[in-house]
Amino acid sequence: MTNEERRLRAKIPGADTGIQVKRSICDICSPGMHCGLSCYVKDGQVIKIEGTDGHPQNDGKLCTKGLANRQYLYRKDRIMTPLRRVGERGEGKFEPISWDEAYAEITEKLNAAKAQYGPESVAFYSGYSKWYRPMLRRFAYSFGSPNYGSESSSCYTAAFMAWKTAAGDQGAADMANCDLFLGWAYNPFYSNYMGAKRAMEAKARGVKFLIVDTRYTPAAEKLADVFLQPRSGTDGALAHAIANVLISRGQIDKEFIANYVYGFEEYAEYVKGFHAGNIEELTGVPYADVVKAADLIASSERMSSYESSAPIPHHKNGFQNYRAIISLLAITGNFDRPGCQSPVVHTYIHVECGFPLHEEEFQYGTKPQDAPVPVGGDRFPLWNHLEGEMQAMDLPRQIETGEPYPVKAVFALGMNARMWPDDGRMFAALQKLDFFVDTDLFLTDTAKYADIVLPACTSMERGEFKPYPGGVAIYTNPVIPPLGEAKSDVDILCDLANRLDLDDGLLKAGYEACVQNIIRDLDVTTAELKQADLPIKVAEVERFEPLEHVKKGLRTPTGRFELKSAIIEAHPEWGLDALPTYTPPLDAADERKYPFTFTSGSRIPHAIHSRLHGCPNNRSLRPDPTADMSVEDCAALGLKERDRIVISTERGEVRVFVHPTPAMPQGLVNLYHGYSEADANSILDSDHLDPYSGFPAYRSTRCGVRKDDAV
């Protein structure tokens, strides 16, 4: 073998091998991570993926999801051309068409719905990924529709709402300077690998960890000084019990409360109801462990916290549970101080980077005035008040009933109907539409229902603007041309803005012009950002002074941290509680028939939702849908590893394998979602929604379990 052959085999870049290393970002877990990718390219093909050394997000490292980018890019089922449906909806029969034909039909059908039923009859929806969302929201509003919505109707936004009602802005953790870290549903080893690295480093320098989770996770094993394991959906009761111990002992920051907190007296009276006599019955946590947690908090000068925006809100009582948890920060004075929690303003697509942009002005600048209430706005008034966008969990109902007005067409980017609880109802709603467009990389189960399917790009086939914490940003370049006739999502939107002749010069001018508008106050242009090999400094990030935000007034009606929400208090017609009251997560169903609690959505290291189940390497790590159950429950049911079981609810049943594990508590059945052949969401109730946020109860539904006798 010659030296050149050895270098080629080793994929070493150089003039002799014809291999170049080009920079991109991983968009599989968007938008929070966006780790740097080094793509080894030869003859227009990506032949190798690595993490980018020196990148501020991952510094050369990649998780199992990021390492799947090459397989993801070259999956054999990539859509290569626009498609028109020729069979029945859901049948998956399509014919290839040109982009001109696709654009012409979309323009005709969307304008027809607008003319006959009004612009609000067209809903604009974003699934994954998320990088184009400012563009899609503006596109919807420029079209005249109030109905922009996204998968954030069931992810993250409820947590943001809880922070808005409490402090006006989201609170960010300061692990680097705390001496106690409260990790509530905190599992970075599976969901944020660089966060896990930082946590292990903090542990090594002496930071204490209080970990709360329904399962015994790697975070509990590797980090916890105190570990609490409440039953699923009982987090609010547990937080109130901890608060009651702290308040009754006087281990609170009375000065901070007097100066900067609203509603303390009523809150303190309310949490007296969570005590030694009832907390184990309510949550499964022994009272002695509640006291241990309170002792750890009281003995710490600087507590910072992470409250996961997925598992905590994914209950019918999730929004209030989240408020209960962050209330612990206020009563202990661990807010707006170094090493504690501080209010931050999002820079771009809900990521706080330390500098302002004109994103909000760009997104909302064309919002139609005097438009009807968006879908779900009447049903979930707090959501509508705080977010003002479509609560997509209510979309199936409105398509079905036409109330308060008809929704006749949906234009979607990356829609996954299987994310809806009782998702058969959503598929039935798609059947009823006059027109449905979906844009995706693959012909998903949802795309099969579309009239027109448009082929999208991966992050490696397009350029995009991306800022990061610390005042840095980049505008990436494509590392290879788009496969087939695929296009960037934003190019599709800008093309259609011209075809529809929207009254929006920015959208018509294209993505780069839109980004330049958003970043116009920075001393850098999109052209300069494109020249950068790594994210570059674009703004200085000023360190805040202790109590700076509370002294000038938070962005709440009272200007204080609100244990009692003044927004909710001002609207008694909503029928919601201004205090973070606790209600049980489960409805009063037949507990004898359904003795277990079913939960779906937990993270596994190698997949996110259904996005990587089509990549062979990742799928091989957990090839079959498998439910985790406690060793004790499996023994009682006569189940052993890899037995088949039937999980049943009032909505239906799924058949999966079982994995007995000591990490699971008795009574809980955990099934990872995203497997279409064992669809966890298909057995959930579509009306089992949080009345505050509209979020579905993915993680608390009564179920039964039996051995599958059909095997």
- Mean pLDDT calculated for residue range 561-571: 98
Q: What's the CATH code of the domain at 672?
A: 2.40.40.20
Please state the φ and ψ torsions of residue 329, each to the nearest 5 degrees.
Answer: -65, -40
Question: Is residue 149, in this structure, part of any structural domain at all?
Answer: no
- Determine whether 218 is exposed, middle or buried from the number of CB atoms within 10 Å of its CB (0-12, 13-18, 19+): middle
CATH (domain of 263): 3.40.228.10
**Virtual CA dihedral for 152, 156, 161, 167, nearest 10 degrees?**
-150
What type of residue sits at position 436? Answer: F
- Digit-coded pLDDT (tens) for 185-222: 999 998 888 999 999 999 999 999 999 999 999 999 99
* Selected residue with higher pLDDT from 128 and 522: 522
| Residues 82-104: tens digit of each pLDDT | 999 999 999 999 999 999 999 99
Domain-located, residue 556: no
**Buried-state track 629-664, b at ≥16 Cβ within 10 A, e below 16:** bbeebbeebebeeebebbbbbbbebbebbbbbeebb
- Alpha-carbon Rg for the chain, nearest whole angstrom, is 25
Is residue 682 a part of any domain in this protein? yes
What pLDDT score was predicted for residue 603?
A: 80
519 Cβ contact list (under 8 Å, min separation 6): 357, 358, 465, 473, 526, 538
Query: Could you report the per-residue pLDDT of 311-369, keeping only the tens digit for each?
Result: 999 999 999 999 999 999 999 999 999 999 999 989 999 999 999 999 999 999 999 99
Quote the domain boundaries for residue 638. Answer: 596-707
pTM for this structure?
0.97
- Determine the average pLDDT of the residues in 523-552: 94
Tokens of 109: 């059908």
Cα pseudo-dihedral 320, 326, 332, 333, rounded to 10? -130
What is the model's pLDDT at position 673? 82
Say how many domains are in the chain: 2
Phi, psi of 90 (to 5 degrees): 90, -15
Bond before 372 cis per omega within 30 degrees: no
Q: What is the DSSP string of 324-356?
A: HHHHHHHHTT-BSSTTSEEEE---BTTB--SS-
**Token pair of 645 as six digits:** 């079981």
Of 514, 517, 504, 411, whose CA–CA distance to 142 is shortest? 504
What are the two backbone dihedrals, phi and then psi, of residue 350, each rounded to the nearest 5 degrees?
65, 20
How do residues 662-702 score in pLDDT, each as one tens digit? Answer: 999 999 999 988 888 999 999 999 999 999 999 999 999 99
Of 344, 369, 393, the residue that ends a domain is 344
Which residues, in sequence order, are bridge partners of residue 704?
648
Residues 467-487: tens digit of each pLDDT? 999 999 999 999 999 999 999
Does some domain include residue 184? yes
Residue 711's pLDDT band, with cuts at 50, 70 and 90, is low
Q: Report in angstroms the alpha-carbon separations of 33 from 58, 87, 471, 473, 565.
A: 8, 39, 15, 13, 32
**How does residue 417 score in pLDDT terms, banded at 50, 70 and 90?**
very high
- What count of residues does the chain have? 711
| Tens digit of each residue's pLDDT (9 = 90 or more) over 581-627 | 999 999 776 788 999 999 998 888 888 888 888 898 888 988 999 99
In a domain, 654, yes or no: yes
The answer to whether the CB of 431 falls within 8 A of the CB of 89 is yes
pLDDT score of 32 more than 80: no
Res. 277 pLDDT band, cuts 50 70 90:
very high
Identify whether 577 is part of a domain.
no
Strands 465-468 and 452-455: unpaired
665 contacts 632 by C-beta, under 8 angstroms: no
Q: Which residues touch 352 (CB under 8 Å, ≥6 apart)?
A: 170, 172, 344, 345, 346, 469
Please give the residue that has the higher pLDDT: either 543 or 263: 263
Residue 613 lies in a domain: yes
% residues pLDDT > 70 (the chain): 100
- Domain final residue pick, 281, 313, 344: 344
If pLDDT is split at 50, 70 and 90, which confidence band does 11 have? very high
Domain end (from 282, 316, 344): 344
